Amino acid sequence: MDLFGVKKHHGRSLWILVLLLLFSATTWAQSGSVTGRVSDEKGELLIGVSVQEKGTGNGTITDVNGQYNLKLTTKNPVLVVSYIGYKPQEVKVTKKIADVILAEEVSALDEVTVVAYGNQRKVSVVGAQSTMNMDAIKMPTANLSATIAGRLPGLVAVQRTGEPGHDDADIWIRGISTFTNQNSKPLILVDGVERDFNNIDPNDIESFTVLKDASATAVYGVRGANGVIIIKTKPGKVGKPRFTVDYYESFVTLTKKPKLADAYTYMDAANEAYMNTKNQLLFTPQYIEATKKAHGLLANDNPQMYNSYLYPAVDWMGELFRDWGHNRRANVSVRGGVPNASYYVSLSYYNESGLTRTAKMENYNADIRYDRYNYTANLNLKPTPTTTIDLGFSGYLSAGNYPQISTSSLFSSAIQINPVYYPLMMPDGTVSGISGNGDQRNPYADLTRRGYTNESKNQLNSNIRVAQDLGFWKWSKGLTASAMIAFDVRNERSLNYEKWEDTYYFSGSKDPVTGLWNDDVFNADGTYKTYRSHEGSNELSFNTTGENTRSTYFETSLNYDRSFGLHRVGGLVLYNQKIERLVYDNNDERNKTAQDRIINTLPYKQQGIAARLTYSWNDRYFLEVNAGYNGSENFDPEKRFGFFPAIGLGWAVSNETFWEPLRKHISFFKIRYTDGLVGTDAVTNRRFMYLDVMSSSSGYRFGVDNVGVGGWAVTKYGSNVGWSTSHKQDLGFDLKFLNDNLSLTVDLFKEHRKDIFMQRATVPDYAGFIEMPYGNLGIVDNKGIEASVDWTQQLSKKVSLTVRGNIAYNEDKIVEDDKPAVKYPWQETRGTNVNGRWGWIAEGLFTNENEILDHAKQFGEEYPGQVSRVGDIKYKDLNGDGAIDDYDRCLIGQGDVPKLYYGFGLDLQVSNFSIGVLFAGNGQVDRCLTGNAVNPFSDASGFSNLYANVTDRWSADDPTNENVFYPRLYYGSSANANNTKTSTWWQKDVSYMRLKQLNISYTLPSRLLNGTFLNTASIYLMGTNLLTFSKFKLWDPELNTNNGTRYPNARTFSIGVNVSF
């Protein structure tokens, strides 16, 4: 099903739209004269502006009315317009009247940057923040979060899946400073409003700023504890309408498809495991030989008996996934305006097809396909010289088509069933399967025969801001008032069409000695005898789920910015509030009581006041004070509001007179320090934490007959909790060298988060609580360092080079988690990292019987060697009591959130060619493997598949070789229990470095465009996730999986074109 009803015509319609836009313009050559006026962006006419015909000595200047008149001498004339204090501009002459609007040349001291609730001169910023150049962001992915890894210091972005439409990255700023069940995600603001940013087209973004410390985020109070990301979409720009068209096509493949063992490797390993466990073979030599005959590896002397149905060898991964997919993106925008009305409007389309296969015999489409339309319209009005009105509308419509069974379940099925268990499908086209209860499902049937899901989403964002300059009187110069209201609505709907067909298997007998099929597997007419192994339904069933969200945001503020000689004073007072209502329509919600549903549909409300005071003297000394005052529904009215102050100091050392001798070496040096508090009210998913919750309860049981008495009872206790606060400190250094060509920024940061919401762990179970009550119990420390460097050099007239890099490192530590006292120091969680992994230390493998007898008993053995065998994992006896048990469990790993993360790259411009390269990576991150395939034959049946590296295993032929991936093989879950414990044996380093992006582009010379309607035109090639360097080889190390059951990330090769006119 295609939401928009034009599935086959997306590409054709886009090209027609592009062509109409292109050919709607006309070319014009002039060899007469041209006249016009020159003004600034405020509409003021400029006198004495130089207007030169490019490449000639022909020129003039504007008169007292800002007007010029010039007789032209070339065939395709271009005017060069220049004026002191303004950026020079080149203008193609396409008609007799050419008005020009010049932009002011902003000095480095006056350059502004985005800060919380506004803009600020870059030189005066004392908070820790980073800004990304959005011109460099062009990646063939639907979600913006997948494009930002490695680009900014302190920003951690890990893409856990590459499934089209679901490939959002996990994002943290400066790591994790709270417990894993708490909200650790940053606040994301788009055009000043809290919004999701994954579905924004990168071409529509003007700036992307990350705020990290308390001074930068304190004004957000409750929402700023985990850092803030501020995104601003492109506003209008004074000037002639400028159309830009960007289009690319991409070929997509997987970064790494998990490689499973083939049938013969599987049977060899299964025989070894079966022999180790039951002292007999699972697959006889005759059976293996028959399988090879059925698949052409040996001469087949009986094709009727030795065929791929009776003796399967299925490559399940190969049957589920194609090698190549496809995506495309088109963006058409127009930007322009006059001094009192400017605009930016864009429309974009993104399409991606997945790499899963589909079955042509079904009358529905279960292919993975994702389509999205984006629109953005920003209108900037100036009805009076002191009044501005900014209108913004943006949103998207998306439609996704997916198999009914999730891709993670498909991967799970593929590694749960081995290649020789049953054929891909039965000879008559029915679904193959053996289990009567539907276990050991057929992965191919799950993909192609279980139905499909349509997901549709749409969002409309709207906002209007009015700003008034109040500098009518001398005392109010620099004072402005501003107010904004935003209304956003989002709808999601999932249509689920599902079936689970009957499964069948052969009903003949097998030779009890060889395991070969007997002739009775055939009917008299030569067809196969089968039986129904599982009763299902061949009819599609239907259900639907959905969600609707509406939010209204309002803010109003007074801003002040004024200079008094060498003194500069600024201030902000702001009030904001947000009301959001969520309505769910799903099975979980329908099964809840009416009271719970009422609570969930009550509007969520936020309210707060923010204030900021800034002062600077001679752009040398800087002071900034910020504060936020916020309320939360989660707390008792007496604790509802929290106050979060912060202070920042800055010293531009290089502006001191004593720095003059060093200025030629270090042109700029600034020291920053910030200290402050930010807060959070993220308790749990439960609302109104201070209230008890009553619901139906099974009640209590009395007497020797154990008679139950039900009724209503308190099932969740109200807790008089308050705000969780983070004390953040940051010491930063900003330096510039070599005539400002080389810049370096270094920040040292520290955070102490206390009163974290946790359930009490020191209360014993026998206290009788239905659930452990919550309290402000947890404390976590986090500290680290981050740095970024940027070097730009004009190597020659036509060659320029920019090299940039960033790196960050952080360590978090649990100070308090309310855990009871422990017997041994290595059991203590205090002092360890939040995401740490706990398990046993593997000292290697047992290499002989004496080593087993001399070692401690392992996991319930009555004596050493009762269960353990040569080739099994040997665990460390930490307490020396002669037994391996829970007392020997300790911290063994960092977890899957990295401590170290970095990115580096370069941009090289050689004449009209440019090359851009970005590498991104992380370190000190690990994952513990567990589950089917990575723990061979560890499921209850022993039927699970294997990874191809199963050949790297311990062998009785070389018992002292412990440098292997797998210990001794066993068959079945009970026999594997000791070898599958969470331990350092299965813990793997999943750090990586990746060639994240490679761009090569060529811009057509302007001489080729003279006489055409085009201003610029370029063609480019893009490669994404081209190379990955990692010690871990089984699957993409970025994925969030312990046994490979996630849709891999995508590697793409793209070609595109960008034109403007």
Whether the CB-CB separation of 173 and 361 falls below 8 Å is answered with no
Q: How many domains does the chain have?
A: 1
Whether the CB-CB separation of 531 and 422 falls below 8 Å is answered with no
Between helix 285-294 and helix 263-278 the angle, nearest 10°, is 170
Token duo for residue 280: 């007999």
Residues with Cβ within 8 Å of 819's Cβ and at least 6 positions away in sequence, in order, are 761, 762, 829, 830
**Could you give the CA distance from residue 220 to residue 209 in angstroms, rounded to a whole number?**
15
Q: Which of 1028, 835, 749 is nearest to 170 (CA)?
A: 835
Q: Which of 647, 621, 648, 626 is nearest to 567 (CA)?
A: 621
Q: What is the mean pLDDT of each run of 10 residues along the chain (1061 residues)?
A: 44 46 39 84 83 88 88 87 85 84 69 78 86 74 78 85 80 82 79 88 89 84 81 88 93 92 95 92 95 95 94 93 91 91 94 85 82 95 93 94 89 89 93 80 90 93 95 91 96 92 92 94 93 89 91 95 93 93 70 64 86 93 93 83 92 93 92 91 75 76 76 81 90 92 95 90 80 88 95 91 94 93 94 94 96 94 92 96 95 92 93 93 94 86 88 94 95 82 96 94 87 88 94 92 88 93 89
Question: In the prediction, which pLDDT does 9 show?
Answer: 46
**What is the extent of the structural domain holding 75?**
31-102
Question: In the prediction, which pLDDT does 110 show?
Answer: 60
DSSP-based helix, strand, coil % in the chain, nearest 5: 15, 45, 40
21: which strand partners?
none
Tell me the CA distances in angstroms from 889 to 139, 860, 880, 896, one per residue in order.
44, 14, 13, 19
Residue owning tokens 């969030």: 1040
Q: Which of 179, 171, 183 is nearest to 832 (CA)?
A: 179
**Could you give the CA distance from residue 498 to residue 403 in angstroms, rounded to a whole number?**
9
Whether the CB-CB separation of 366 and 403 falls below 8 Å is answered with yes
**Could you give the CA distance from residue 162 to residue 186 in angstroms, rounded to a whole number?**
22
3-state secondary structure 91-117: EECCCCECCEEECECCCCCCCEEEECC
Residue 121: inside a domain = no
Q: What are phi and psi of 149, to 5 degrees?
A: -60, 135
Residue 55: inside a domain = yes
The CA R_g of the chain, rounded to the nearest whole Å, is 34
Residue owning tokens 């986090």: 782
**Could you give the CA distance from residue 326 to residue 976 in angstroms, rounded to a whole number?**
42
Question: In the prediction, which pLDDT does 789 show?
Answer: 95
Residue 542: inside a domain = no
Question: In the prediction, which pLDDT does 183 show?
Answer: 67
- Does the reported pTM lie above 0.75? yes
Q: For residue 135, how many other CB atoms are within 10 A of its CB? A: 10
**What is the spatial order of strands in the sheet that 78-82 belongs to?**
59-61, 50-53, 78-82, 89-92
Whether the CB-CB separation of 1031 and 925 falls below 8 Å is answered with no
Residue 69: inside a domain = yes
Which CATH number covers residue 68? 2.60.40.1120
Residue 226: inside a domain = no
Find the helix or strand (DSSP H, E) in which 851 lies. helix 849-854
Question: In the prediction, which pLDDT does 737 show?
Answer: 92
**Could you give the CA distance from residue 253 to residue 455 in angstroms, rounded to a whole number?**
23
Residue 777: inside a domain = no
> Is the four-CA dihedral 267, 273, 275, 280 of positive or negative sign?
negative
Beta strand extents in 738-773 (DSSP E only)? 742-759
Q: Residues for the chain: how many in total? A: 1061
Residue 84: inside a domain = yes
Q: What are phi and psi of 75, to 5 degrees?
A: -75, -45
DSSP code for 966:
B
**Could you give the CA distance from residue 459 to residue 374 in angstroms, rounded to a whole number?**
10
**Could you give the CA distance from residue 1034 to residue 1046 in angstroms, rounded to a whole number?**
12
Question: In the prediction, which pLDDT does 454 show?
Answer: 93
Question: In the prediction, which pLDDT does 438 show?
Answer: 67
Residue 45: inside a domain = yes
Question: In the prediction, which pLDDT does 993 show?
Answer: 96
**Could you give the CA distance from residue 1043 to residue 1029 in angstroms, rounded to a whole number?**
20
Whether the CB-CB separation of 858 and 881 falls below 8 Å is answered with no
3-state secondary structure 233-287: ECCCCCEEEEEEEEEEEEEEEECCCCCECCHHHHHHHHHHHHHHHHCCCCCCHHH
Burial class (CB in 10 A: 0-12, 13-18, 19+), 82: middle
| H-only helix segments in 524-601 | 587-590, 594-601
First to last CA, the chain: 37
